[in-house]
Amino acid sequence: MGTIAELLGYSLEPDPDATGADSGENAGSSSVIDAGANEKADEQREVAMAIVLDECDLAPAQARADLTLREDLEMDDLVLYAIVSRMEHEMKTSLSDDEVRSWVTLGDLLDAAAAVG
C-alpha cells in the first residue's frame, strides 16, 4: 500500500526548483544555506497552517501550537488524513502513517511540515 497521496493519484516527484540549491555564488557560505533552510521551513509551516485553517473550524487568531488535534481541534481520522493528503500534494512529499499517528498537537503537525524538504 502506498501513501495517501499516491492512492489519490498524486505524483510525489520532488520539484528540482525547490531544492534550495544555490547557483554557486555562495556555495561556501553555510549561513546562506541555513537562511534558505529556515525560509523553506517557514514556508512549509505556512502551507500546513493554511491547510489546517481551511479544513478545521479554527480562526487564525485562535491557533496555538499546544492545541490538541483530536480534542481541541476535533479532528477525526478523515479530517486528519484530508490534511495530510493536501500537505503531501502541496509540499510534494510523503508522510508516513507512523509519523502522522505520532502527532498530538498542532505544533507537532507544523514541526513535521517544517522538517519536510
pTM of the model: 0.70
Is residue 100 included in any domain, yes or no? yes
Is residue 38 included in any domain, yes or no? yes
pLDDT at 3: 59
Q: Mapping DSSP to helix (H, G, I), strand (E, B) and coil, where does residue 105 land?
A: strand
pLDDT at 24: 52
Is residue 25 included in any domain, yes or no? no
Residue 57: CATH number of its domain: 1.10.1200.10
Number of independent structural domains in the chain: 1
pLDDT at 38: 86
The residues with which 105 forms a beta bridge, in sequence order, are 68
Q: Mapping DSSP to helix (H, G, I), strand (E, B) and coil, where does residue 68 land?
A: strand
- Alpha helix ranges (H) inside the chain: 4-7, 30-55, 77-91, 97-102, 106-115
Domain range for 85 is 31-115
Name residues whose C-beta falls within 8 Å of residue 39's C-beta, 6 or more positions apart in sequence. Answer: none
Q: What is the mean pLDDT of each run of 10 residues along the chain (117 residues)?
A: 57 54 53 72 95 94 96 96 97 95 97 90
Is residue 15 included in any domain, yes or no? no
pLDDT at 43: 94
